[in-house]
Chain A
Amino acid sequence: MQMRISDIFKLAFKALRDRKLRSFLTILGIMIGSAIILALIASSSGLSAGIQAQVSKIGANTLTVSSARQFFAPGGSSGTQNYQLSQQDVNTIKSLQGVSDVIPYYSQRATISYGSNSMEGELIGVDTSALFTMYKGLSLYSGSLPDSYDPSAAAVGYSIAFPTGSSDQLTLNQMISITLGGSTSSSLTFLVKGVFSEYGRVLFSNIDDTVFVSLQSAQILLKTQYFSGLYVITNTAGDVTTVQQEIESYYGTQVRVMSAGSMVSSVESITSQMTVFLGSIGGVSLFVAAVGITNTMFVSVMERTREIGILKALGYRPRQIMGMFLSEAILSGVVGGVGGTILGYALSFMIGGALPMSGGFGPPGQTRSSTTLTPVFTPELIAFSLLFPIGIAVLAGLYPAWRASRMNAVVALKYE
């Protein structure tokens, strides 16, 4: 003599339907909790995945060296107290065991204009022949790499040549004008020799928004002999750690050394902390929802005291009565979980749109345009956002349902 599961849930559904508004509000609470958890975790893993994809564009055998203060003092080479990287440092690092090449570069935010277009972007001065070594998978869309020593030649990123929302497009051998931002405001013109294919962000820069010129041109334009940073290429990926340690022991805290591996791990530690933090916000909201369920259930049990008495008189066993009330909580959890997952899915794309993946991990003054964050949904995450609310609902409903099942029939029947 067991009640059918389908009957239990039908009765639970009727009971929830009978109190539409209250049920809706209870379920809404669960939905919001579940949605927040899903959206926040999916977004933060999306952020993590996006940053890792950027990091992976620089080779596993690559280190970057930059002046330590530069990280925290926007505007580039303003402070004289900062250690400044010079040709001497290039030679020093080059002489270290395991280093195959050191590529110095300048970088600065700049306004790029040609024809009717004017856009914010970045100027990078570097030995242009080293570009394909620095950026894995970078390729030319048209033209050729400018000669390393040609002071007037430039290669530009895809978005500079083909700006969105403008019909005016750049052609090869066209002149572009570069005006530097920040303290040093000077202007130079360059002849575009090559256009890169779409590449996206890598670490500190968005290649698509960047103009590459020779080291010498940048030196003239920036009026400084000190580099913004150095790319250090080691013989093998295995040399990265020892080279990093050697550079760090030589310079102490004057420079900041980063490798793809160390960036990945620092990104991971930040995003995992973020995931825990954001996840716990969602957890708290689900906990609040659970308190809501418990409260609603208690009110419901009180209101239906007489009904519980009737059920007892009709021969419903305590366990059956408990099951009936618990299934109302479960049903709320199921609807809340499913609704919350759908809502969270939509919400995570909204967060992705509102939270552009700015290069928060690069030197300041060099971040500009951003790619939109793509949330990551693992099957585990989806399962979690579906099932966790149900679990919470069961826990929240357990005590009120137990109370209902323990009620004294005679007292319950007299309840007004």
Chain B
Amino acid sequence: MSSRAGLAVQTIGVTKVYRVGHIDYPALRGVSLKIGKGELVSIVGPSGSGKSTLLNLIGALDAPTSGRVIVDGIDLRKLNQDKLALLRNLRIGFVYQTFNLIQRLTAIENVEMPLIARGIPEKIRKSRSLKMLSAVGLRREANKRPTELSGGEQQRVAIARALVTQPTIVLGDEPTGNVDSKTTREVLNYIIQVNKAFGTTFVLVTHNPEVSNMTHRMITLKDGLIEKEQYLQRMDSYTGL
């Protein structure tokens, strides 16, 4: 137990096999890794190497075929659907390449969504959400709908939504995949700031070397296995851009 206390994520011999018809497609073939609290980790690798699958397993959105996933000291095997949902709500934030905002809701309403699931009163969640939007520089866009925002702005709304719950770990699936290089730099800067200020763990799946180069550690997947792990900089010496 105590050895896991400092870990945000641990996977032990995790495999994931997708079955289409009668044919099995192994996406992960035994991945064991440890990610410490406050770490900024990137997962890279070619398409089909199992990056997103691994992220979904860590995010408790999917269950492994075998092996164990431990998030924040909690073994996901032991949780039912409700407890998994609770874990996602309380400890995990997601940021996606396609932003995944709810189109009919305004920016602030989107940010409020995870707080609504917790039954937090409207006044409190509005002020928290507005604070979060201010932090990503979108205070004035709070009442705009996603369609009225640029890609970069939408991604910042998504980041605000991921962080408003003060999660221990934020999972990003190509978070800069759909934004220009200027926005990429802004988003990365913000991630680094949050990581430093709050010790939030980030696990980012990316193709973009600009992203992976500024993380503490880069994990390369290939054919469902960890091919290599590179420590790029020590957490305490990391200064960002």
Contacts and interface: CB of A to CB of B under 8 A. Distances in A.
B85 A3 contact: no
B117 A3 contact: yes
Contact of B117 (A14, A314, A409): A314
Contacts of B202: none
A52 to B, nearest CB: 55
Nearest to A14: B104
B160 to A, nearest CB: 13
Interface string A1-31: 1111001000100110010000000000000
Contacts of A172: none
A89 interface: no
Nearest to A315: B89
Interface stretch (B34-42, B54-62, B132-140, B229-237): B54-62
Given A313-B100, A409-B62, A410-B62, A318 B119 contact: no
A314 to B, nearest CB: 4
Contact of B114 (A14, A309, A314, A410): A314
B191 interface: no
B226 to A, nearest CB: 21
A311 to B, nearest CB: 8
Contact of B56 (A3, A4, A410): A410
B86 A315 contact: yes
A15 B104 contact: yes
Contacts of A11: 116
A318 B61 contact: no
Is the interface on chain A under 10, 10 to 19, 20 to 34, or 35 or more residues? 20 to 34
A248 interface: no
Interface string A314-338: 1111111000000000000000000
A318 B96 contact: no
Interface in B2-20: none
Contacts of B114: 314-315
Contacts, number: 79
B36 to A, nearest CB: 23
Nearest to A313: B94
B62 A317 contact: no
Contacts of B179: none
Contacts of B149: none
Nearest to A318: B81
A4 B56 CA distance: 28
A306 interface: yes
Is the interface on chain B under 10, 10 to 19, 20 to 34, or 35 or more residues? 20 to 34
Contacts of A15: 104
A408 B81 CA distance: 11
A319 B84 CA distance: 13
Nearest to B120: A4
B118 interface: yes
Contacts of A309: 100
Contacts of B122: 7
B90 interface: yes
A1 B86 CA distance: 9
A290 to B, nearest CB: 26
Nearest to A409: B61
B88 interface: yes
A21 to B, nearest CB: 15
A170 B113 CA distance: 79
A312 interface: yes
A358 B176 CA distance: 78
A312 to B, nearest CB: 7
A103 interface: no
A3 B104 contact: no
Contacts of B89: 1, 314-316
Interface in B53-104: 56, 59, 61-62, 81-82, 85-90, 92, 94, 96, 100-102, 104
Contact of A410 (B61, B92, B165): B61
A7 B101 CA distance: 18
B103 to A, nearest CB: 8
B105 interface: yes
Interface in A142-201: none
B107 to A, nearest CB: 14
A310 interface: yes
A15, A315, A316, A409 — most chain B CB neighbours (10 Å): A315
B148 to A, nearest CB: 15
A120 interface: no
B61 A1 contact: no
A313 B113 CA distance: 11
Interface string A295-319: 0000000000011011111111111
Contacts of A314: 88-89, 94, 113-114, 117, 161
A413 interface: yes
8 contacts: A4-B116, A14-B104, A307-B102, A313-B88, A314-B88, A314-B89, A316-B85, A317-B82
Interface of A: 1-4, 7, 11, 14-15, 18, 306-307, 309-320, 408-410, 413
Given A15-B104, A315-B89, 18 more contacts: A1-B86, A1-B89, A3-B117, A4-B116, A7-B116, A310-B101, A313-B100, A314-B161, A315-B85, A315-B117, A317-B81, A317-B82, A318-B81, A318-B85, A319-B82, A320-B117, A410-B56, A413-B96
The 5 closest A-B pairs by CB, nearest first: A315-B89, A315-B88, A18-B104, A317-B85, A409-B61
